[in-house]
Chains A and B, each alone.
Chain A
């Protein structure tokens, strides 16, 4: 019970800090809109390539951008933890009786909240630009679940990474090394049908691609949801593995202190 209230109070702290950076809030809200417009214009005609498989690119792109945004937002979650670590805030929290799990959990939930808000905005903008969620509310719920699972997983992994490397420069280098390839090894922007065979094989092991496939299903009629069930299960497993990694990294940090 106290673990829950500890998590809540720490989450409030993080959300409040985010809210107090109006520029950040505006950028984060406008950025998805920019992705949709830029990619939509840039790649709009790829649907004419034989074998692409979708007729409307905005219909194809909206779930892809939703997943990309969730990935980029959550992958950076660890940077705030490094700041807490440098400032001595983490040590201060560790000398209180507060739940240890709450410290990381609050950060994961913070990313999840931000990701859910961004996903909602993308869906609204995408819909305004012509995308349709065929299954209505059920589709929107599936999309939200995908964003939360992927965002939570990457946020946990990011916090674990932060506790291991403990330096902003190293953390940023590793992130840049990982996030863009994961995006391009997925169907976010391009149909996997048009990928070279090796990339298609690699994309099957990529959590980002699982999320994109499931999110795209959410925009389709429920009849096409069959494959999404497997993807959602894989995403849940990814979240569990990432949480285990974060827990382990936290224990390692405490041992080395």
Chain B
């Protein structure tokens, strides 16, 4: 791999599962060496399928993917040597101790014994598992198991680390700790990380760049700041009730200062250049229609607004719908 070759290159991946579920529909993105790249999307958007293809567990129907300079289908062994993988659900061996889990994982990468033992010691300490190292993992808390998962993902010092929904199911404290560990790890190693998440704030806080995935395609990508700046202006959210939200959105979309207006549940999200100035005029317009405004909030655009803008759906609703549709594909 040359210095400027991308760490991950994904071109037009497609995958349909038996039964006709279209998981990937022409997914394309590139991750530079040393970047932390987040695939952000609701449940069922195709994030896990993408990761499973990149870590050689699943084959795409068509398209091409390279990791650390190697084609995932033509050179799976070379890819496996270069990557670490932390799956959505903890994959530690619960009948083994933390230390035994790490030692076995390292041996499968054929690390020499002395170096491996030193490395395992270092990881156990730096991830705060030192005291629990010789206890069977069955008795670990969710957060401890997750840290052990991550330690196993990096025991062999991979060039590219895949984290599939690393904080799903963790309590807020463990999540914050994991964010710290991850930031720390990157500062020390310059590791390339591909992270999938359905937490907007996680992508916002951690990622150098984000790709928003919807229905198996990348609908927008860039730095979180650029994605938000691209929308421009501010967002005004007016709570008007589910019955009339669509009518109010339609009414406001015609107003001169409004860039975009969408109904989401009982609210209307209105994008305007200068929120503070536009708010009284918008309120007056709605009141004159006449509809009642129950509350109004004003904010800088969040990734939530970016998602809404590119997909026409609110993130939380898409996420809940994806959850109903079965496992996170």
Contact mask B23-60 → A, CB, 8 Å, 1/0?
A: 00000000000000000000000000000100111110
Q: Is B152 an interface residue (CB 8 A)?
A: yes
Contact mask B55-69 → A, CB, 8 Å, 1/0?
A: 111110000000000
Contact mask A1-36 → B, CB, 8 Å, 1/0?
A: 010011001101100110010000000000000000
Q: Which of B78-86, B174-182, B280-288, B321-329 contacts A (4 or more CB under 8 A)?
A: B78-86
- State the interface size on chain A (CB cutoff 8 A): 24
Contact of A257 among B58, B87, B94 (CB under 8 A): B58
Smallest CB separation, A104 vs chain B (Å): 15
Question: With A20-B136, A97-B108 as given contacts, are A92 and B77 in contact (CB-CB < 8 Å)?
Answer: no
Q: Is the CB of A9 within 8 A of B104?
A: yes
* Alpha-carbon gap, A89 to B110, bound state (A): 18
- How many chain B residues sit at the interface, stated as a range, is 20 to 34
Question: With A16-B96, A257-B58 as given contacts, are A96 and B108 in contact (CB-CB < 8 Å)?
Answer: yes
Chain A residue at smallest Cβ distance from B94: A87
Q: Is the CB of A92 within 8 A of B91?
A: yes
Q: Is B95 an interface residue (CB 8 A)?
A: yes
Contact mask A58-91 → B, CB, 8 Å, 1/0?
A: 0000000000000000000000000000011101
* Alpha-carbon gap, A2 to B90, bound state (A): 27
Smallest CB separation, B204 vs chain A (Å): 28
Q: Is the CB of A257 within 8 A of B57?
A: yes
Question: With A87-B94, A89-B91, A91-B91 as given contacts, are A97 and B109 in contact (CB-CB < 8 Å)?
Answer: yes
Return chain B residues, CB-CB under 8 Å to A256: 18
Smallest CB separation, B154 vs chain A (Å): 13
Q: Is the CB of A88 within 8 A of B108?
A: no
Return chain A residues, CB-CB under 8 Å to B89: 87-88
* Alpha-carbon gap, A163 to B58, bound state (A): 16
In chain B between 210 and 263, which residues have their CB closer than 8 angstroms to a CB of chain A?
Answer: none
Return chain A residues, CB-CB under 8 Å to B93: 13, 17, 87, 89
In chain B between 81 and 127, which residues have their CB closer than 8 angstroms to a CB of chain A?
Answer: 81, 83, 85, 87, 89-96, 100, 104-105, 107-110
* Alpha-carbon gap, A98 to B104, bound state (A): 11
Chain A residue at smallest Cβ distance from B59: A255
Q: Is the CB of B81 within 8 A of A97?
A: yes
Return chain B residues, CB-CB under 8 Å to A98: 108
Q: Please report A residues at the B interface, Cβ cutoff 8 Å.
A: 2, 5-6, 9-10, 12-13, 16-17, 20, 87-89, 91-98, 255-257
Please give me the 7 A-B residue pairs with the lowest Cβ-Cβ distance, nearest first: A88-B91, A17-B95, A98-B108, A92-B91, A96-B108, A95-B85, A97-B80
Q: Please report B residues at the A interface, Cβ cutoff 8 Å.
A: 18, 52, 55-59, 77, 80-81, 83, 85, 87, 89-96, 100, 104-105, 107-110, 136, 152
Q: Besides the contacts A16-B95, A92-B105, A98-B108, what 18 more A-B pairs have beta carbons closer than 8 Å?
A: A5-B110, A16-B96, A16-B100, A87-B90, A87-B91, A87-B93, A88-B90, A91-B91, A92-B85, A92-B152, A94-B56, A94-B57, A95-B55, A95-B80, A97-B80, A97-B108, A97-B110, A257-B58
